[in-house]
Amino acid sequence: MDLSIIGYDPVGAWSKTADTVEGLLQYRNPGGITWINVNGLERPEIIHELAEFYHIHPLTVEDILDTEHRPKAEEFTKYLFVICKAMRGGDESGTEFEQVSMVIMENTVITFQEVAGDSFDGIRKRIINDAGRIRRMGADYLSYALMDSIIDTYFTVLDRQGNDIEQFEDRAMDERDDNFIPDLQKVKQNLQHLRRVIWPQRESIVMLQHLDSPLLSKEVMPFLKDLQDNLVQAVETVETYRELLAGVMEINLSSMSNRMNKVMKVLTIISTIFIPLTFIAGVYGMNFEHMPELPLKYAYPITWGVMILIALGMLGFFKRRHWI
């Protein structure tokens, strides 16, 4: 668990880390924007200290510590509280979700990351190195940039899922693939998890736009609208994937049943041809003393001829009915 603080204004920017909350808070940037990042949630007392200092509601603290919470945005008297979910993975080993909570105040943003990681490194660098738009704008734009970098992880994961699904299209026609259905179910469940995260994420962004909070300036609104567009696109991608999977499933079922039908037809035809012939052979294998055909000279070749005629007749019958 580590604590980092970044202060910036249009003119300059600096970054510090600390071990204690007091140590951290002395670096606050009263004239500019302050971004505090809490990496990992192993020491709840640190979160409680921060909450006390910034007058954060106990329910918000509870939500920060409950890493199973679904994405949401809530307005409190002095701050906005946003829960996001970053994604990792997306290949066969499944998708992992990391909860990132944000408290957005007047000139301060506090972020709480479930897992210590470097997801925000890009933004950190943009702030420190680059005197661009992010430095000129307020805490609301910073929180937008953070949400944007979180939502970008969705598209990485969705791309990987897309590749997976393409493989299923090839596997759909392979009848010896016993794991096809269970594997497909896993991907399906994974997609449902994604949708469960992306959809409330979209709702929370929509809610932020409708809040009419003084903490969100007019300039940041088009950016939030853009995030919303991205999330709608992500939801649509998930829907497209689900439909692709449903289609693949249908192809698989129909190909299985087609193949089975063909196998059965071969059996039908071979059996149906030989069973009557075997019967004829059985008849002339009977041991009655008085069977007039037995002593005839050409009985045997005639029998063969009859049997061949029957076989050809049946083949013709099946052919005419398009069974072969």
Which positions from 254 through 283 interact with a second copy, judged by CB under 8 A? 254-258, 260-261, 263-268, 270-272, 274-279, 281-283
Burial of 157 (0-12, 13-18, 19+ CB in 10 A): buried
Q: How far is CA 120 from CA 92, 112, 134, 191, 202, in A?
A: 26, 11, 14, 25, 20
Does position 9 interact with a second copy (CB under 8 A)? The reply is no
Smallest distance, Å, CB 189 to a second copy?
Answer: 6
Cα–Cα distance between 93 and 96 in angstroms, integer? 9
> Which of the stretches 86-94, 123-131, 173-181, 208-216 binds a second copy when contact is defined by CB under 8 A?
173-181
Smallest distance, Å, CB 281 to a second copy?
Answer: 3
Which residue's CB is nearer to a second copy, number 118 or number 212?
Answer: 212
Does position 129 interact with a second copy (CB under 8 A)? The reply is no
Does position 94 interact with a second copy (CB under 8 A)? The reply is no
Which residue's CB is nearer to a second copy, number 150 or number 224?
Answer: 224
Does position 210 interact with a second copy (CB under 8 A)? The reply is no
- Residues contacting 146, CB < 8 A, separation 6+: 100, 102, 109, 111, 120, 123
Smallest distance, Å, CB 101 to a second copy?
Answer: 14
Does position 289 interact with a second copy (CB under 8 A)? The reply is yes
Angle between the N-to-C axes of helices 139-171 and 221-283, in degrees from 0 to 180, rounded to the nearest 10? 10
Which residue's CB is nearer to a second copy, number 281 or number 312?
Answer: 281
Smallest distance, Å, CB 200 to a second copy?
Answer: 9
Smallest distance, Å, CB 196 to a second copy?
Answer: 6
Which residue's CB is nearer to a second copy, number 24 or number 172?
Answer: 172
Under a CB-based contact definition with an 8 Å cutoff, are residues 102 and 111 in contact?
Answer: yes
Cα–Cα distance between 324 and 322 in angstroms, integer? 5
> Which of the stretches 11-19, 91-99, 139-147, 187-195 binds a second copy when contact is defined by CB under 8 A?
187-195
Cα–Cα distance between 160 and 176 in angstroms, integer? 25
Smallest distance, Å, CB 146 to a second copy?
Answer: 17
Smallest distance, Å, CB 58 to a second copy?
Answer: 8
Under a CB-based contact definition with an 8 Å cutoff, are residues 205 and 228 in contact?
Answer: yes
Among 188, 207, 209, 211, binds a second copy (CB under 8 A): 188
Smallest distance, Å, CB 22 to a second copy?
Answer: 27
> Which of the stretches 98-106, 121-129, 159-167, 235-243 binds a second copy when contact is defined by CB under 8 A?
235-243
Does position 48 interact with a second copy (CB under 8 A)? The reply is no
Query: Of residues 292-321, which lie at the interface with a second copy (CB under 8 A)?
Result: 292-300, 303
Tokens of 57: 């509601």
Smallest distance, Å, CB 286 to a second copy?
Answer: 4
> Which of the stretches 7-15, 21-29, 113-121, 218-226 binds a second copy when contact is defined by CB under 8 A?
218-226
Cα–Cα distance between 75 and 54 in angstroms, integer? 15
